[in-house]
Amino acid sequence: MEKHHKQSSHDSDEKTTEFRPFSPAVTPHMRTFHLSWLNLFSCFFTTFSIPPLLPIIRDDLNLTAADIGTAGSASFAGSILSRLLMGPICDLVGPRKASGILSLITAPIILITSIASTPGEFIVVRFLVGFSLATFVANQYWMSSMFSGTVVGSANAFAAGWANTGAGVTQLLMPLIYSSILYFPHVSSSTAWRLSFIVPAVFQAITGILVLAFGHDNKNKKQNQNHPRTTPLDSVNPKESHKSALKVVFRGLGNYRGWILGLLYGFSFGVEMTTDNIIAEYFYDRFGVNLQSAGTIAACFGMTNFFSRPMGGFVSDKMGKRYGVRGRLWSLWIVQTVAGLLCVLLGRVNSLWSSIIVMCCFSVFVQAASGLIFGVVPFVSKRSLGVISGMTGSGGTIGAVVTQMLLFSGDKLSKQTSISLMGLMMILCTLPVTLIYFPQSGGIFCGPSADHDDDDDEEENYSLLE
């Protein structure tokens, strides 16, 4: 193993310049990649294990349309605060401990679903389960600290894309798990759906243990100077550590690029999560398909993440190598705008097969847009990478809450109308990408600054080079 590791190419920060997602987990970098995406996969599997069983759960708990909408918003709201906190926590203790411990803490929560008996209890459970999605921030932070700038877009996109397929796989498997349990004699429908949640809870706990046991943090000394998280907390004066942490946080919060990327992510990944929440029920109610068929259709939406989000990261890296950050920004704008147009169309088609085809095309573009966004994130701020990742990741969940509450809570609007309106919101909220500007690289409509001072601080130069 050591021999193989030495043969790998690394930059001065001990980040690997090679990314081979289909290679075995031999080197610490690739082992970390596989553990990270599998752990996040389990968190998506857990969080979205409830929606495919909603047609059964709503009848058992007498849930109204308003209850279901509120519960959907709660599941995203639970991860907003946790994602914001996860960034600074990664800066301080590292992504391995942050993601592993959070997975172990949140895994038992899904089991509480089995004892929910009222709409209020169901909403609380969905709120708490959503906390596990903060592991997404640790996932993206981890990849950015392990892979160099030339391949970081692909690494981020593959890790998140493969992980996000968990939201699709659970749409497929949970109805099958429910049906398998229901097959046993003397097992009622109410008991079967409750027992089904043992599977995602155990799965998430196992992946959390694997991350803690076999994960690897990049502890390069040079990188330690730029990332306070890698400095052992017991060797630092508590007051200095506190000041350093606050400095990291305020650097990130003061960077307008992070806020814009958070908005864009809210209407790419946020829209994706909202769609994961409503798509099975949408096909079940609108086209009259059965529970297993609705789950299979919904699974197609989530499982395209296996290639679509990685494709976004790949395009981002290719455009970055050829045109710099400007190429990454142009690609992001075009792909996310097309995704918005397809979302509008999804709400307008009226046949089952046309809806499935448009849904699949929409899923490819909206997920690729998410990959393109995190192809830009590592170039915003090296020192406050965790904060920027947290801001962007939280933007995704805030976008999901906004779209869920405005468009899918209650029954004032039909779901097809709400889906089309969501597409229009995507198109409009993608426009601020034109305001992002990097002094060294330029923006969508402007080239690099002519009077840029090459001796400026590295943080101000945003010098994570292509």
The answer to whether position 450 is within a domain reads no
Mean pLDDT of 429-439: 91
More confident site: 49 or 235: 49
- Cα–Cα dist 309/272, whole Å: 12
How many CB atoms sit inside 10 A of residue 331's CB?
23
Of the candidate ranges 93-107, 114-128, 168-182, 235-249, the one whose mean pLDDT is the lowest: 235-249
Q: How big is the CA angle at 382 (ends 17 and 212), to the nearest 5 degrees?
A: 70
Contact present, 266 and 422 (Cβ < 8 Å): no
466 vs 443, more confident: 443
Closest CA to 132 of 51, 33, 42: 42
Note whether residue 403 is domain-resident: yes
Let me know if residue 336 belongs to a domain: yes
Domain that holds residue 293: 26-217+224-231+238-442
- What is the DSSP code string of 192-254? HHHHTTHHHHHHHHHHHHHHHHH------HHHHHH-GGGS-GGGS-HHHHHHHHHHHHHHHHT
| Confidence label for 1 from pLDDT (cuts 50, 70 and 90) | very low
Q: What percent of the chain has a predicted confidence (pLDDT) above 70? A: 87
The answer to whether residue 316 is domain-embedded is yes
DSSP percent split of the chain into helix, strand, coil, nearest 5: 75, 0, 25
Longest CA–CA span in the chain (Å) reads: 77
pLDDT band at 369 (very low <50, low <70, confident <90, very high): very high
Residue 160 forms part of a structural domain? yes
Each residue's pLDDT tens digit, 22-55: 877 678 888 889 999 999 999 999 988 998 898 8
Indicate which CATH number applies to the domain containing 420.
1.20.1250.20
Rounded to whole angstroms, the Cα distance separating 109 from 125 reads 7
pLDDT single digits (tens) 80-117: 778 878 878 887 888 999 999 999 999 999 988 888 88
Please check the confidence at residue 222 and state whether its pLDDT lies above 80.
Answer: no
Tell whether 202 is covered by a domain.
yes
Residue 227: the pLDDT is: 44
- The answer to whether residue 315 is domain-embedded is yes
What's this model's pTM, rounded to 2 decimal places? Answer: 0.74
Question: Tell me, what's the pLDDT at 248?
Answer: 65
Kindly report the backbone phi and psi dihedral angles of residue 16, in degrees, each rounded to the nearest multiple of 5, phi listed first. Answer: -75, 140
Q: In the chain, how many domains are there?
A: 1
Look at residue 244 in the predicted model and tell me its pLDDT.
Answer: 62
Phi first, then psi, for residue 375 (nearest 5°) are -80, -15
**Mean pLDDT, the chain, as a whole number?**
83
**Residue 268 gets which letter from DSSP?**
T
438 burial (CB, 10 Å; 0-12 / 13-18 / 19+) is buried
